[in-house]
Amino acid sequence: MEHYDRAETWDRETIERVQLVRLKNTLRQALRSPFYKDLLGRAGVSPENMRNLADLRQIPFTSKEHLRAAYPYGLVSVAKDELVRFHASSGTTGTPVVVCHTQDDLDCWADLMARCMHMVGIRRGDVFQNIAGYGLFTGGLGIHSGAERLGCLTIPAGTGNTRRQVKLLRDMRVTALHIIPSYALYIGNALLEEGEDPRSLPPRIALVGAEPHTDEARRRIEDLLGLKAYNSYGLSEMNGPGVAFECLEQNGLHVWEDAYIAEIVDPDSGEPVPDGEQGELVMTTLCRRGMPIIRFRTRDLTCFLPGDCPCGRKHRRLARIAGRVDDMLIIKGCNIYPMQVEQILMSFREVGENYLIVLENEAGMDRMRVQVEVRSEYFVDDMRALTALQRKIANRLRDEILVTPKVDLVQQNSLPRAEGKAKRVEDRRHAGI
Ligand code: ADP
Ligand code: ZN
């Protein structure tokens, strides 16, 4: 295995030994913040209690609500003049959460990110275009710093302006890029519609992440743009991107256990679930001084993939994120995740890249409507063909989610598109119309 740094090659024993040492240090550091002084004090937990990694479970969870209540500086564990940057989550699920970093924290993050990129074959000399928001959102500066650390010629392209993005990709002979999956599909299709071949674009590697997407969507990105797409997972509370990343095997994301402790728990009981079983990811920082966060409930659903990865890395693998705990829709008593719907939709070649799940209430009954863009070549005048397609999609969805949704077929590019992360669900149940 070619590696970026030593920690990437550690065996299980080394990883776990280092984790315990770093956990104790992290607790010591965290106790300097008003928030953890209070939380750990009340729970009676001190670094000395941690005799092995399982002792971690004595520590209470930290939730997004905690972070919001401690806004803005309640979790800071260093003198303020040591802080050099702050970021915030994009606020997909409410008020943003702020995270402050020291210079060491940023260096460590850049190295983790560089390790991810190196793992999928990006090297010094590559030309890297970062198509991500450069504001408080961590996908901008986070990925940017990793790319520079690796020695790539890094283009801070930002989001939007598809034409300019494409021009940069071509003119600069970009070899690798970062892009959110919904925008990758959009750019590819925009080119197709203009009669251009998106596969002729120079990049051979894409990092895709920041929003839930299925393996089907990934394959579409790869086919459409003629490159390899690797799943990138992270969240602002844990720095941002660089937390877990797919290797060349494209089968699960290695979570960097020298820098984090990952647990997967039952979202209701908080108890650990066995490998292979889905639960909520809980994360602890091990290399952060400015603002350590311990046992953070990410709300993201995944599982540990059992067994070793053929690539040889011993950092455990997370399955593709199935969705957020909060994403679960309950319709007529059935639990439904938007990614189940996406998986079915993407398996129809007639279906385009954009879709929207609309929740409605009709005479007191909740109902689900799925609006689906149909590719231009299939959006024909033949009513019978379209009705048959509509029925086929509704039936396949019913088999998967056990509820029969109403399916609307709409023209390509007619559904609203978000600037950043795609919005897949619109709840009109309490709209009062
Ligand atoms: P927000 O919670 O406001 O979206 P962030 O910008 O920090 O804040 O985004 C982190 C979240 O984005 C994660 O908790 C997860 O839900 C989602 N996410 C990030 N990367 C991926 C990925 N590769 N697959 C699925 N979801 C992802
Ligand atoms: Zn691997």
**Which of 64, 211, 281 has most ligand 1 atoms within 8 Å of its beta carbon, as the pocket-test mutant?**
211
Instruction: Work out the average pLDDT over 134-162.
Output: 96
Q: How confident is the model at residue 426 (pLDDT cuts 50, 70, 90)?
A: very high
Query: Is 433 a residue whose pLDDT tops 60?
Result: no
Short-list 305, 364, 366, CA closest to 335: 366
In tens, the pLDDT along 357-386 reads 999 998 888 999 999 999 999 998 889 999
Cβ of 90 below 6 Å from ligand 1: yes
Measured in Å, residue 311 CA sits from the centre of ligand 2 at 4
Measured in Å, residue 249 CA sits from the centre of ligand 2 at 6
- Residues 6 or more apart in contact with residue 80 via CB below 8 angstroms: 73
In the chain, what are the domain boundaries?
1-327, 328-427
- Residues 6 or more apart in contact with residue 12 via CB below 8 angstroms: 314
Measured in Å, residue 191 CA sits from the centre of ligand 2 at 33
pLDDT at 168: 98
Cβ of 176 below 6 Å from ligand 1: no
Average pLDDT along the chain: 95
Cβ of 300 below 6 Å from ligand 1: yes
Short-list 335, 326, 272, CA closest to 301: 326
What percent of the chain has a predicted confidence (pLDDT) above 70?
98
Q: How confident is the model at residue 93 (pLDDT cuts 50, 70, 90)?
A: low
**Sheet containing 260-265: which strands, arranged edge to edge?**
260-265, 279-285, 296-302, 323-324
List the structure tokens of 62.
Answer: 């930290």
Query: Is 132 a residue whose pLDDT tops 80?
Result: yes
- Domain 1-327 grouped into CATH 3.40.50.12780: yes
Q: How far apart are CA 140 and CA 58, in angstroms?
A: 36
Which sign does the torsion angle of CA 207, 266, 258, 276 carry? negative
pLDDT at 418: 86
Q: How confident is the model at residue 78 (pLDDT cuts 50, 70, 90)?
A: very high
Measuring CA to CA, how many Å separate 35 from each of 43, 76, 148, 398?
12, 8, 34, 47
Count of alpha carbons within 13 angstroms of residue 414, beta-carbon side: 12
Measured in Å, residue 246 CA sits from the centre of ligand 2 at 7
Q: How far apart are CA 265 and CA 271, in angstroms?
A: 5
Q: Mark the residues whose beta carbon lies below 5 A from ion ligand 2.
A: 247, 249, 309, 311, 313
What is the signed CA dihedral for 52, 59, 267, 251, rounded to 10 degrees? -40
Q: Is the peptide bond before 47 cis (omega within 30 degrees of 0)?
A: no
Instruction: Work out the average pLDDT over 69-83.
Output: 96
Measured in Å, residue 281 CA sits from the centre of ligand 2 at 19
Cβ of 232 below 6 Å from ligand 1: yes
Measured in Å, residue 381 CA sits from the centre of ligand 1 at 40
In tens, the pLDDT along 164-180 reads 999 999 999 999 999 99
Query: Is 86 a residue whose pLDDT tops 70?
Result: yes
Looking at the CA of 252, name the nearest ligand.
2
Query: Burial of 232 by CB count in 10 Å (0-12 exposed, 13-18 middle, 19+ buried)?
Result: buried
Looking at the CA of 310, name the nearest ligand.
2
Cβ of 68 below 6 Å from ligand 1: no
Cβ of 298 below 6 Å from ligand 1: yes
Cβ of 284 below 6 Å from ligand 1: no
Question: What superfamily does domain 328-427 belong to in CATH?
Answer: ANL, C-terminal domain (3.30.300.30)
Relative to beta strand 279-285, strand 296-302 is antiparallel
Q: What b-and-e string marks burial along 147-171, b requiring 16 or more CB atoms within 10 Å of the CB? A: bbbbebbbbbbebeeeeebbebbee
Cβ of 230 below 6 Å from ligand 1: no
Query: Is 301 a residue whose pLDDT tops 90?
Result: yes
In this structure, of 50-59, 313-322, 410-419, the range with the lowest mean pLDDT score is: 410-419
pLDDT at 380: 86
SS in 3 state form for 47-78? HHHCCCHHHHHHCCCECHHHHHHCCCCCCCCC
List the beta strands (DSSP E) in 202-350: 205-209, 228-235, 240-246, 253-255, 260-265, 279-285, 296-302, 317-318, 323-324, 329-331, 334-336
pLDDT at 90: 64
Cβ of 321 below 6 Å from ligand 1: yes
* CA of 96, closest atom in ligand 1: 3
In tens, the pLDDT along 11-41 reads 999 999 999 999 999 999 999 999 999 999 9
Q: How confident is the model at residue 432 (pLDDT cuts 50, 70, 90)?
A: low
- For every residue of 350-385, DSSP letters joined together read TEEEEEEEEEEEETTEEEEEEEEEE-GGG--S-HHH
